């Protein structure tokens, strides 16, 4: 019964804070809009593509082109859900009301993850259907091999990004510090490590590099990745689990 009260309380907190609602909305709008734009550009350039490029075209992945920016909003959402109470000082009141820190953190993460999953799935399916509509005759269908897996995986990927951010925020507590670590990691460090030949084998095991594998239906030329789509998502799950365990361990150990 205590967990039910905590979940109800966390739901009230999240929906009453405008910033968390706006970040989830931004994740959907940005991902879908950019995916449609890239899909439109791809359709316009299709006739000028080489035969090789046409054969390796991945319509599903193209419709997810906006997910790289949409995950930015998911990162912000995950950070704000956890660290807002630290920045306002409300964490002391929350922990006084729920002394069992495992219950407190699990309740918060459960509610936030459920919201992220709903928005992530809605975003992924909407981006796919609208992107394929824009691609027209060059698009894919949901029943094509690997497509449904990629679309469902897109929703899971966005959810896991938010969960990973929650774990990091629980460890660092400060929203500015958390975003200062996560933004460069996902948008600079990960891209560098994943694209430089000397570090590529390391970069492919980072959470976003591994997790985004689930979005691909048509493998790229010369792709020698040692894991498949679900294997990549599994690697990302391990990163998320490590972040959440680390967040809980520090929350349990230190004062509010």
Q: How many angstroms separate the CA atoms of 243 and 43, rounded?
A: 40
Per-residue pLDDT reduced to its tens digit, 63-97:
999 998 999 999 999 999 988 787 776 777 777 67
Confidence of residue 221 (pLDDT cuts 50, 70, 90): low
In three-state secondary structure terms, 188 is helix
Give the confidence band of 256 by pLDDT, cuts at 50, 70, 90. Answer: low
Average pLDDT over residues 4-25: 82
Distances in Å between the Cα of 41 and the Cα atoms of 44, 55, 59, 153 are 5, 17, 12, 24
pLDDT at 52: 83
Whether pLDDT at 232 is above 80: yes
First to last CA, the chain: 24
Over pLDDT 70: what percentage of the chain?
96
Copy the structure tokens of residue 114: 């459920």
Tell me the average pLDDT of the chain: 89
CB 195 within 8 A of CB 203: yes
Each residue's pLDDT tens digit, 155-195: 999 999 999 999 999 999 889 999 999 999 998 899 899 88
pTM (predicted TM-score): 0.92
Confidence label for 140 from pLDDT (cuts 50, 70 and 90): very high
CA dihedral 119, 123, 129, 131 (to 10 degrees): 170
């Amino acid at each position: 019964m205590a967990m039910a009260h905590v979940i109800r309380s966390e739901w009230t907190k999240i929906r009453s804070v405008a910033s968390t609602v706006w970040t989830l909305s931004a994740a959907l709008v940005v991902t879908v809009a950019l995916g449609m734009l890239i899909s439109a550009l791809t359709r316009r350039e299709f006739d000028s593509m080489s035969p090789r490029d046409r054969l390796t075209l991945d319509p599903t992945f193209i419709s997810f082109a906006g997910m790289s920016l949409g995950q930015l909003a998911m990162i912000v959402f995950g950070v704000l859900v956890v660290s807002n109470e630290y920045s306002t000082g409300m964490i002391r009141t929350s922990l006084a009301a729920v002394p069992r820190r495992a219950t407190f953190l699990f309740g918060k993460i459960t509610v936030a993850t459920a919201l992220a999953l709903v928005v992530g799935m809605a975003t992924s399916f909407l981006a796919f259907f609208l992107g394929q509509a824009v691609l027209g005759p060059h698009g894919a269908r949901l029943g094509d091999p690997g497509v449904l897996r990629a679309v469902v995986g897109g929703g899971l990927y966005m959810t896991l990004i938010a969960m990973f951010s929650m774990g990091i925020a629980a460890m660092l507590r400060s929203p500015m510090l958390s975003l200062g670590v996560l933004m460069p990691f996902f948008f600079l460090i990960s891209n560098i490590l994943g694209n430089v030949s000397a570090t590529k084998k390391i970069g492919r095991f980072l959470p976003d590099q591994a997790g985004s594998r689930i979005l691909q239906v048509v493998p790229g030329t010369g792709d020698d990745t040692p894991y498949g789509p679900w294997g990549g998502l599994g690697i990302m799950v391990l990163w998320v689990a490590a972040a959440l365990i680390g967040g809980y361990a520090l929350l349990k150990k230190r004062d509010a």
